[in-house]
Amino acid sequence: VRRAVRTARAELRAGGPLAEITYGFQQTVDAAARAVVDADMGAIRADLEAIAALDEHGSDALVLDDLVLDQLADREWSPLGAVESVRALIRAVDIDRADEAEPTQALATISVTEDMATAMRLHAAGWRTAYHHEILAYGLAPEDPKTMLTQRLRWAQGTIQVMLRENPLVQRGLTLAQRLMYWSTMWSYLSGFAALAYFAAPVIYLTLGVMPVQAWSVDFFARLIPFLVLSQLLFFIAGRGNPTWRGQQYSLALFPVWIAACWTAARNVYFGKPLDFAVTPKTRQGEDATPWYLFRPQLIVMAFLVMAAIIGAVRLYLGAISVLGVTANLVWVVFDLFILSVVVRAARYRGPDREGAS
């Protein structure tokens, strides 16, 4: 125990994480306590074997008792008496403060994303959130496209469940900022339906000549360009300099998952249809062949965009539509294809080990 204390103090002086240091100290002392118990139990077994040997020689009960008492009296005091003191020492340096925990009802079971639902209830009950700049646990990320889609679907389904059952905008106890924060997380999954209109707009114009926006170019771009610039600036500030473009791609490219989540979650809440809790597999689940079938809707949209671009070019050659309209929508098509191209990379991904080997 003294050696473990010296080691822990040295690690603290070196600036090590408090949680890891106390955990290591507890494990070391606990292992020492187990060794003491094992040794003492071994001595007890030896005494019992000696007593059994005396009994086999035909000693009467009185003599046997005297011999047993003499033999046990010669032993040193059992170290088992110190084990409880050691346990108290371990509990004294436990930083989780279990004795200060306050019951706040059971874990929220209204959603398959119980962590977010429980956090919202804790905030509504007056608890505050603090950012802890220390790694306390490591998690596993999906290693194949199928697992990733399973995880994202469950997250989206659970979030929609919370939105439909306990809308944060009407929950008592939440601050205005908390209401907006939770609500923005929830309604963001409705973007799957908006993505359909976003992808369909250039296709409709290039094939049928129907403009998606009825506005003068100056008025339209005077509002669109500042919106796009400020949106990217907000992503940059929120990401603290970390790249967020890949996340933006997936947010738009996974529109079939978001639509499926909205549909299944609504059926579960309003019609009682079962919603299976799909646990994210902890090992790679993908097959050797490229799983293009997982991204069939995105590939179909990409095919429509390419065909629309070809049709639009032909109609422009025939003079059926304007040069400005075709140019703007072709740029739109290229941007959409660039967004959706992330699913091609995802389908060909083979996990960290096989990816590095290739």
Q: Is the confidence at residue 104, as pLDDT, over 90? A: no
Percentage with pLDDT > 70 across the chain = 81
Q: Is the confidence at residue 358, as pLDDT, over 50? A: no
Listed range (31-45, 84-98, 212-226, 240-254) with the worst mean pLDDT: 84-98
Q: Which residue has the higher pLDDT, 261 or 56?
A: 261
264-281: pLDDT as tens digits: 999 999 998 888 666 666
How far is the C-alpha of 38 from the C-alpha of 313, rounded, in Å?
83
Q: Is the confidence at residue 154, as pLDDT, over 80? A: yes
pLDDT at position 62: 45
Query: What value does the mean pLDDT take over residues 88-115?
Result: 72
Q: Is the confidence at residue 87, as pLDDT, over 90? A: no
Q: Which residue has the higher pLDDT, 189 or 45?
A: 189
Tokens 């950012």 identify what position? 131
Q: Is the confidence at residue 235, as pLDDT, over 90? A: no
How far is the C-alpha of 316 from the C-alpha of 177, rounded, in Å?
50
Q: Which residue has the higher pLDDT, 37 or 250?
A: 250
Q: What's the predicted TM-score (pTM) here?
A: 0.67
Q: Which residue has the higher pLDDT, 262 or 228?
A: 262
Name the average pLDDT for the chain: 82
pLDDT at position 5: 87
Listed range (5-19, 29-43, 87-101, 320-334) with the worst mean pLDDT: 87-101
Q: Which residue has the higher pLDDT, 208 or 285?
A: 208
10-65: pLDDT as tens digits: 998 998 888 888 888 888 888 887 777 777 777 777 777 776 666 555 554 445 55
